[in-house]
Every structure is written in C-alpha cells, then in structure tokens.
Amino acid sequence: MALQNYPIQVRAVWWDDSSRKVCWLNTLKLPFEEEIICSDDPSRVYKAIVDMEVRGAPAIGVIAALAIAAYANKLASSNEPGIGEKIADSIELLRRTRPTAYNLFWALERMKRKLQSVYNTSPREIADSLTDEALKIMNEDIEANIRIGEYGADLVPDGATILTHCNAGALATSAFGTAEAVMRIAWYKGKRIRVIATETRPLLQGARLTVWELVKEGIPVTLITDNMAGYVIRRKLVDLVIVGADRITRDGYVVNKIGTYMIALAAKRNNIPFYVAAPTSTIDLSSRIEDVIIEERNPMEVKTVMGRLITLENVNALNYAFDITDPDLVTAIITEKGVVYPPFEENLKKIFER
C-alpha cells in the first residue's frame, strides 16, 4: 500500500529538534486551552503520563521514548558521568507510570535494547542513537496510523454513522489516531460519514477531545452520554462501531477504555459491526487476558466532573480505567498490516509475519 499525503491537523506529542526536548499538548486543558509543555526531565514526563496530560496507548509509548532521548541529550550536553546507568533508571521510572497500555512497555523495551547496544560508547553517541530510535518509534506510529486509516476506510460505507468511545484520535497517538484515522481518511476520500461520540466518564475524553478533533476536521459529530449508547444502537442510529485499544492479547481480548464492553454487547445483540483499530505495537503476543493488569485510578475522578465535586466527598467509589471485550464480540481488528478477522488467536500471529 502506497502511503498518501494527508494533512496533520493535531499533534499530541512531538520532538523539538532545536531544544532537544519532547513536547506535548496538555489534554487535561482541552478543549478550553491549548497548553504546550516541553521537557527533558523524565520525572516531569512521568507526571504527565500518570496525570493524563498525555493519554492513549500509542501516545504514551511515543512520549516515553522521546523522554528517554531528551534526557540522554541533556546528560550528554552536561558531560555527567554514568550516563548509561542514569538512562536505564529513567526507563524503569517511566515503566511504572501506567500498567495496562502495552505500547508503553513495547516502546521502552526498544529504547532499552538500543541503550544496551551503545552502552560503552561516548555520551554523544548514546544520545544520538537513542534520539534516532525514539524518532523511528514516533514516525512508525504516524505511518501505522495512516495505514490503519486506509485499511479501515474501506470498511466504512458512504453515508455511514459511526459510534466511537473515548478518544482514539490524534490526541492518543503521534498523529491521525487509530479509530479516528479510519474516520479521517474515509472523510478525505469523500465518504459522507457522521460520528456519534460518547462523553466517556469520568475524564470526558470523548466530550473534550474527540469532539474537539472532529470539529477541527469538519466531520459531523453528535455527543451522547455514555449510558445512551445502548439505546442509540437499538434505535439503529448507528451503522458500525469503531474503537481503539490499549492492549490486545494473543487470544484476541481487547482491553480498552471502561465502557467499551457494554457497547460491544449492544452491537452484537443488534447485529452492528464492532471494529477495533490498533497498531501492532498494541498487540501483546506474550500474554493472555488473565495476565493483564487493569488499572484502577483515584476514586476522586469518579466523584468529580472537571474538578468539581458531584457527590458526597466521603462516599466509596470504584474507578477502573479499562474493561475487557471478548473476542467473539469483535468483528475485526484493523491494523497497519491489514484487517484481522477471527479466529484471532490464529490470525493475530500471522500479521507479524507480513
């Protein structure tokens, strides 16, 4: 597949070559403020990931890799001793940010292997090698997003209404997105699509981020509450569902934003195709679903909206960040290497051979 040139409207994470720092758009401030932050401090990037200034599995992996590169350049410029050991420590620090998204561990493992291959060279050679690797990870993500969009756009009928959950757009990746790349490229190809976006409590990624992105693109979008999704599907207001993923296991279970499972059940009951769009860096062939840690976040996120308390402060609350969608509920998985259909345990392995 020859890559087409598409306009990049939104970037969540990027490399600033003049300062040798990683920069990101603080998604916590969107859609009301577009705050850009740049840093070469792994501790600052650690906070950005944990606090979800940067979120979305591919974006987390990319910012972690770029943070290692930025830190290596900082150390090389100051001629500090023990550069290899300090970089190794920073890799382990970032590994502890969020436990579920597989791209984080995939990207950091690549950076770790690169560090090991140049460990005994000069500080400048270490920094340059790590920078090259981090930029490869970022650019590979952009290319993967475009390919996902190209493959996925073929599955979208002209005039279709697409339901999506959370934000699997440019703000969750290096550019274009995964699920939203399908929407973007279908739109660029002239398909008259419409999108229904869930609000995505508790942090409202759908209302704040997905809507913001689609409005920028000019794609018609309608916002609904999370608990409206089943009825909207039942009313046949949706032609297909496309979501992203934070991890896909070798047996085809999809770990994605909490609420995805309920949408998949409703789609199955009403014979609506349910597609998952994700790069191969999200597919974890080493584990089954019982091995995956589902992140639990601060219960205060559930008890507030945009920082404002909506219930009794001392009431108990659960805050699982992700849920699990069974393979039999998934119509297909759209990757940069093609569309994968069931049986997933057999066919997911095959795409790594392409």
Number of domains in the chain: 2
Do both 83 and 186 map to the same domain? no
Q: Tell me, what CATH number does 335's domain have?
A: 3.40.50.10470
Supply the pLDDT for residue 2: 56
Q: Give a yes or no: residue 225 inside a domain.
A: yes
Do both 167 and 294 map to the same domain? yes
Q: What's the predicted TM-score (pTM) here?
A: 0.94
Positions annotated as catalytic residues are 246
Q: Which residues of 180-210 are buried (b: 16+ CB within 10 A; e: fewer)?
A: bbbbbbbbeeeeebbbbbbbbbbbbbbbbbb
Supply the pLDDT for residue 246: 96
Q: Tell me, what CATH number does 130's domain have?
A: 1.20.120.420
Q: Give a yes or no: residue 111 inside a domain.
A: yes
Q: Give a yes or no: residue 245 inside a domain.
A: yes
Do both 329 and 199 map to the same domain? yes
Do both 180 and 73 map to the same domain? no
Supply the pLDDT for residue 9: 85
CA 35, CA 17: separation in Å to the nearest integer? 19
Do both 188 and 219 map to the same domain? yes
pLDDT tens across the length of the chain (354 residues): 556 788 888 899 999 999 999 999 999 999 999 999 999 999 999 999 999 999 999 999 999 999 999 999 999 998 777 899 999 999 999 999 999 989 999 999 999 999 999 999 999 999 999 999 999 999 999 999 999 999 999 999 999 999 999 999 999 999 999 999 999 999 999 999 999 999 999 999 999 999 999 999 999 999 999 999 999 999 999 999 999 999 999 999 999 999 999 999 999 999 999 999 999 999 999 988 999 999 999 999 999 998 899 999 999 999 999 999 999 999 999 999 999 999 999 999 999 987
Dig out the tokens for 262 from the structure. 């309920």
Do both 225 and 273 map to the same domain? yes
Do both 177 and 284 map to the same domain? yes
Out of 124, 145, 166, a domain closes at: 145
CA 259, CA 256: separation in Å to the nearest integer? 8
Domain of 245? 155-351
180 with 209: CB under 8 angstroms? no
Do both 182 and 326 map to the same domain? yes
Do both 40 and 170 map to the same domain? no
